[in-house]
Amino acid sequence: MATLQKNYRNIFVIGASAGGLEAIISMVKALPDDLPAAIFIVQHMPPYAQSNLGTILQHHTNLEVKRGEDGEVVRSGVIYMASADRHLIVEDNRVVVSKGPRENRFRPAVDTLFRSASVCYRERVVGIVLSGVLNDGTSGMWTIKRYGGTAIVQDPEEAIFPDMPSGVMQYTEVDHVLRADEIGKLMGSICRERIVPTSGGAGLTDEKLLQIEIGIGKGDNGLMMGLLEHGGPSPLTCPECHGALTQFEEGHLVRYRCHTGHAHTGDSLLNSLRDNLEKSMWELMRGMEEARLLLERMADKIQEGLGDELAQQYRERALRFQRQAVDVQRMIITSDPSYSGTQLDATTKPAGE
């Protein structure tokens, strides 16, 4: 078994999302075959996806590429891949695979991996964030830096989706901004440089909270672990379970977690709330259109036996519901951040107008 040497930066944790496949391949192709390090990769994916990423990467490297298995010992020269719908965590020099609560709308989540690695390996950790949307990885990278680790991001100018590397650069001091292939080359050299161990945790205000959050990622109960004793109250609720959100601050980054464990940065929370709001508006529109259809059918039946006056009242009420449904549909369209002002047409007008 190839063991990891202490006092070297030989733990690489990598996070990617949309557009990350190309960057991961470029990075892995540049790695030396005798890399004396362990690599952990979280690539966002749908919960029930069957990913071929490991097979693809194996075609570009002689390092072993495998899915992380719960309880296995971390070995040098291995690339560990996260599985769909499971967090990838490291603890006590072993891999932990869990179905803890989603973080930033994802499982596996980059922040979950980064936090666990920083506590386990401290200054030996090198965090790498590649192309992706929103800012999963920003909080985890902040923790890596607090423990003396190294922060590397893909150059946003090269990234297909620059949100994730840009988010790290906004909230955390970054050591290297490089193209994906340059990151692979740097990994081959930085892991051979001897480092001086430190006590770690510089700038951390609540190490107990960090332990609780790692436990939540593993599937432990955050409420029973005392999560509510940390952070501060907020007027917001979790978009996933509707529980009250507690607010935490890491430097200038504000993030939230509910007592059941779901975690959000401000950006991911805003996107979740927007999605839920749109869903509610479509349901409201559906209800109005169903009321319109019912009233029209009632009017047809009433006209057959009770005359035109009552039927006309029903049809007028149906028309009001139709107009209100159109107003809601317009609101849905215009509330989208990408709305250009040219997407409303005759299909959003009530019939006969």
Catalytic site positions: 17, 44, 136
Between the CA atoms of 103, 235, 169 and 144, what dihedral angle is there, to the nearest 10 degrees?
-50
- Residues 11 and 234: their CA atoms lie apart, in Å, by 36
Q: How many CB atoms neighbour CB 196 within 10 A?
A: 7
Which DSSP symbol is given to 66? E
